[in-house]
Amino acid sequence: MIENVRRQVLLGAGLFILCQALILFARLLPLWTGHIGRPGPDLALCLLFVWLLRRPDQLAAPMIAGLFLLEDVLLLRPPGLWAAIVLIGSEFARSRENRWRDQPFMIEWLRVSILMGVMMLGYRMVQFLFLLPVPAFGNVLLQYISTVGFYPLVVLAARWLIGLRRISPAEAEMMRYSR
């Protein structure tokens, strides 16, 4: 039984890494020529919170930090800054996952939206504090709105394409004893 649980955790972690790699690959592709009008949603962040609030046992903190550090390096952002903020935000959500599990989706969406906003605001404040180049506030606001707007779509895609669903209380109890 324990081996089956470990196998599911490893398969889920591998699938998460594959999905994040595909999202990063799509972000690196030169699909647009010329000026890009509006910033798109941060699908990697959406997928992280969807996965973390449904299967927290499959995502280890070093894996999250490593994936987002790789994203920082490849997207030419300050190395480690967004990764650290994402790690803090994800661990905050993980610590409250058992209380958020039984809430309706609208409450989850609201809480994740607030958490994403605080993370983006914190990232921007650190950029100001250390005199790093800061993108225009309008672009950051548009990215936040589109990220929050895409969150339900990522939830639906994860449910239908991957089969990712919330864990039951019995599965949560079994996860606690398998550690």
179 residues of the chain, pLDDT tens digit each: 568 878 888 999 999 999 999 999 999 987 777 666 778 899 999 999 999 999 988 999 999 999 999 999 999 999 999 999 999 999 999 998 888 888 899 999 999 999 999 999 999 999 999 999 998 999 999 999 999 999 999 999 999 999 888 877 777 666 666 55
Structure token pair of residue 143: 């990215």
Nearest-10 Cα torsion for 168, 173, 178, 179? 110
Cβ–Cβ < 8 Å for 105, 155: yes
Interatomic CA distance for residues 3 and 140, integer angstroms: 44
How large is the C-alpha radius of gyration of the chain?
17
**Rounded to whole angstroms, how far apart are CA atoms 37 and 60?**
36
Exposed / middle / buried, residue 140 (Cβ in 10 Å: 0-12, 13-18, 19+): middle
Please report, in angstroms and rounded to a whole number, the separation of the first and last CA atoms in the chain: 13
